[in-house]
Chain A
Amino acid sequence: MKGTRVALVAGVGVLTALGLWWWNGNDEYPSTDEEASAEAGGTVTVLAAASLTEAFTDLADELTAQHPELDIVYSFGPSSTLAQQAVAGAPADILVTADIETMDVAVEAGVVAGAPEVIARNTMALVTPADNPGDVRGLADLARSDLRIALCEPKVPCGAKADEVLGEAGVAAAPDTLATDVKEVMALVTLGEVDAALVYRTDALAAGDAILTVTAEELTKVSTEYPAALLVQAHSPQAARLVMDAMTGEVGRSALDTAGFAEP
């Protein structure tokens, strides 16, 4: 009984100490930042739209080769989720979303420092498994009920853009599943579980021969812009600024180009 009580007190003590340490650590951040600002090093956490995965991974490789003191950590996911995380105070430095509307959520919540900068543009692509089992030839085929079709959920950017493309083309699509991010849709196409899907052009490029891209004129009419912004809760604003500059600068341009993103 006594042993248990001692263990309990010790446990609470350790937890309190840990808590205080963490608390103080957080409080002291501004001062450590000022020290770090001289060489702009440190860890930069970037919340980025899933469609940026390949381009940003390249960008980080390139940038950390030039600045070994930098450490870039990504969290890729659906833009809407990332924006919500930023609003909820996620410990991140930069937010990059796949459309302006989603970035506006973060701007309106007051978590964005300065004005967002558009770093790239993207268009949609109609893709099928490599052997095109459903014989898909154009956007109109997305209305066929005999085909398995995957789209993004209309409430996330890639779904909103897909709806816009379909509206533009006057096609009433018959999707069988609605994913929350574009990578989920791509996985279903690559696995051959769906016959056709609308994804970003860049995701289609990244998948290479695993899939087939069907060209359609209507697809070029709709595009989406990717805004990037510094967050007010940034722990290393100086280093984050450096990463932001790289995104809009030459290093970023070449990585985004390679992935197939158009210039802003």
Chain B
Amino acid sequence: MTGLALLLLPLAGLAWRAPWSRLPELVTSEQVLTALRLSVTTATIATLVSLVCGVPLAWILARSRLPGMALLRGLVLVPLVLPPVIGGVALLVAFGRRGVIGGWLEQTWGLSLPFTTAAVVFAQAFVAMPFLVISVEGSLRTADRRYDDIAATLGASSWTTFRRVTLPAVGPGIMAGAILAWARALGEFGATITFAGSFPGTTRTLPLEAYVAVGAGDTDTAIVLSLLMIAICVAILVGLRGRWVGTR
């Protein structure tokens, strides 16, 4: 019961203090809609990036017998436990205009990442991809490998096997991982504000907008943004968990 109270009381507090009468006006304000649109777009792109890069990575981690896999897995999962601000500092030091890679990018190609929408996606993918990787790796490990072997003996190339046999078998795991990654990307704050900055329309996502509202003493907007985030998260967890992740 105490656990339940600890988890639910803050939410109840938000609902209690929420400016319900001004809610429709605040939720549809240009400021909130801009942040919402940016958040949904960047989180979706970050999830796609995570899928493209993370699924092969999970496959390597689950199937490779090369030495050093335990270390590689540890490194890949670091962003899971790293404070996001530290992740942002790492991104800035690497990809900032004075950073190791960023400096080269700017001088050679005239590309600069920080303070752009691309930087938001970078930061989100950095913290969200490990969620996808562990989820996919887990289902790859529990999937029956014999089907892969049979496909191979029937003459399928390893790419065909991966595409036609392995992927469908771990589909639910990938879906669950993608949803987790999307939710994590949507909630990303620390790495974003450190690496991408905060400017309306380009880098100021929902969590950043809430932070700015708190910093500026605009409690009503902060509460409305918090409720919006919670509503989105609950919708994802309730609506999709039973379908893709739950044991039923």
Contact = CB atoms under 8 A, between A and B. Distances in A.
B217 to A, nearest CB: 4
Contact of B197 (A83, A156, A176, A181): A176
Interface of B is mostly: loop
Given A84-B214, A148-B115, A153-B212, A177 B219 contact: no
A153 to B, nearest CB: 6
B74 interface: no
A156 B98 contact: no
A181 B214 CA distance: 12
B199 A156 contact: no
A175 B197 CA distance: 11
B206 to A, nearest CB: 16
A194 B112 CA distance: 11
Interface in B183-213: 197-200, 202-204, 211-212
Nearest to A87: B217
B97 interface: yes
A155 B216 contact: yes
B92 interface: yes
Interface string B43-62: 00000000000000000000
B217 A176 contact: no
Interface string B90-113: 001000111000000000000010
B189 to A, nearest CB: 13
B212 A193 contact: no
A262 interface: no
B217 A177 contact: no
A20 interface: no
Contacts of B112: 148
Range for the number of chain A residues in contact with chain B: 20 to 34
B97 A179 contact: no
Given A177-B115, A191-B98, A81 B217 contact: yes
Interface string A120-156: 0000000000000000000000000000101001011
Given A175-B199, A179-B198, A180-B216, 19 more contacts: A78-B216, A81-B214, A81-B215, A81-B217, A148-B97, A153-B198, A153-B215, A155-B212, A177-B198, A177-B199, A177-B203, A178-B198, A179-B197, A180-B212, A180-B215, A188-B197, A191-B92, A191-B96, A194-B115
Interface of B: 92, 96-98, 112, 114-115, 197-200, 202-204, 211-212, 214-219
Q: Considering the complex of A and B, which 5 residue pairs feature the smallest CB-CB distances, nearest first?
A: A177-B197, A155-B216, A180-B215, A80-B217, A176-B115
28 contacts: A78-B215, A80-B216, A81-B214, A81-B215, A83-B217, A84-B214, A84-B217, A102-B217, A148-B97, A153-B215, A155-B212, A155-B217, A155-B218, A156-B215, A176-B199, A177-B197, A177-B198, A178-B199, A178-B200, A178-B204, A180-B198, A180-B211, A180-B215, A180-B216, A181-B215, A191-B92, A192-B97, A193-B98
